[in-house]
Amino acid sequence: MNKDKQILKCKNNCTLKFIILIIALFVITTVCITFGSVKIDVDVTFKSLINNILGKEIFIKDWANNIDNIVFKLRLPRLLLAIVSGASLALVGILMQTLTRNSLADPYILGISSGASAGATLSIVLGILSSFGHLGIALGAFLGSLIASIMVFKISGVSKVYSKTKLILTGVAVSSIFTAVTNFIITFAKNDSLVKSAVFWTIGSLAGANYNQVKFSLVIMVITAILSMLLYKDLDAMLLGEAVAKNIGINTKFIIRFIMIASTLLTGTIVAFTGVIGFVGLIVPHIARQMVGSSHKKLIPFGIVIGSILMVVTDTMARTLLSPEEIPIGVITAFLGGPFFLYLMHKSTYRFGGK
């Protein structure tokens, strides 16, 4: 009886925490829309959003016409992409840490980001895929990430016999190769402005976000999140090790392939639109575990929301701290994520896979 009460209490606490996080995400996003080179009051922001979303003048328009454009066409798509990006990177971080059973695993451990960086750099500096216009960079990044993931998948032999050590080492090697390609191109490029653009992109930025990017990345993220939630018991079993998971009837080959394909799609899509943003996929799973433990049934939704909040806050800081200049968001996440991760590791009560 006491055990049932404890389970119910824990469930209620988790539900309350999750509701608080959702409300926090909504409030923080609404407030963050007001920040920028043009300061907009919160009430005006809210009214403008409601009018534009519903397509009706619910609130009497007593603000300048350009406010609607700033809120709905510039800041909102950027913050929505921040939400989806944070959620995606957090989800991949959770999946990769489960696959490798390594607390330092993140979305970029398989060299996917390095492949994307090389592809984007080729597109920016050498003009490859320039016929696709602005989509050329995103397409180059996605193709680069896809090539990197295929290399890791084939060379590590995951499709035959899984070895987490071999997988990680292959990822490191592939990452080094693509990083060398990127550095070579940047070093010998003659156009300084293009080099600066390439370097800025590789450190991450959500500038130029649009609703098409939000829609595409949202579809990938939602599908992957739903499938991950449906497989939460299998993912929990993988934390015990592949041998144990096999013994209790888990199709480990399927789970390994699912994680790798899902991670490639999510990371490739996000990196293609935002560039390389570090630390989000590394620290968010640890924060979520501190709150709800290691069960993926709770860990995944909590991680998604926490990742979204973190990205919204860091992107707002990136575009406002030195306004009108913009700081690459990867710099902000590193400044915040590094010390926080060290703090987590310093806590004597912390351990990977539990509270």
- Per-residue pLDDT reduced to its tens digit, 41-53: 787 887 878 877 7
pTM for the full predicted model: 0.88
The set of residues, in sequence order, having a beta carbon less than 8 Å from that of 194 and lying 6+ positions away, is 124, 125
CATH code of the domain containing 186: 1.10.3470.10
Identity of residue 97: Q
Tens digit of each residue's pLDDT (9 = 90 or more) over 135-148: 788 888 888 888 99
Q: What is the pLDDT of residue 237?
A: 94
Q: What mean pLDDT is predicted for residues 212-217? A: 93
**Is 104 among the domain residues?**
yes
pLDDT of residue 1: 47
In a domain, 122, yes or no: yes
For residue 331, pLDDT over 70 is answered with yes
On whether residue 35 sits in a domain, the answer given is no
Range ranked top by mean pLDDT from 4-8, 70-74, 91-95, 132-136: 91-95
pLDDT score, position 12: 67
pLDDT at 355: 47
User: Residue 338: what pLDDT?
Assistant: 80
Domain range for residue 306?
A: 82-346
68 domain-assigned: no
- pLDDT exceeds cutoff 90 at 304: yes
pLDDT confidence band for 5 (50 / 70 / 90): low
pLDDT tens string 76-89: 999 999 999 999 99
25 pLDDT band, cuts 50/70/90, is very high
Residue 9: band (very low, low, confident or very high) from pLDDT cuts 50, 70, 90: low
* Average of per-residue pLDDT across 325-351: 78
The proportion of the chain whose per-residue pLDDT surpasses 90, expressed as a percent, equals 36
Structural domain contains residue 351: no
Question: What integer pLDDT is reported at residue 318 of this predicted model?
Answer: 92
Mean pLDDT of the chain: 85
pLDDT-above-70 percentage for the chain: 92
Number of domains, the chain: 1
pLDDT at 351 over 60: no
Is residue 69 situated within a structural domain?
no
pLDDT tens, residue by residue, 144-201: 888 998 898 888 876 666 677 888 888 889 999 999 999 898 888 888 888 877 887 7
Q: pLDDT band at residue 344, thresholds of 50, 70 and 90?
A: low
Identity of the highest mean pLDDT range in 62-66, 111-115, 177-181, 349-353: 177-181
Whether 209 is in a domain gets the answer: yes
Average pLDDT of the segment spanning 243-268 = 89
Domain assignment of residue 163, yes or no:
yes
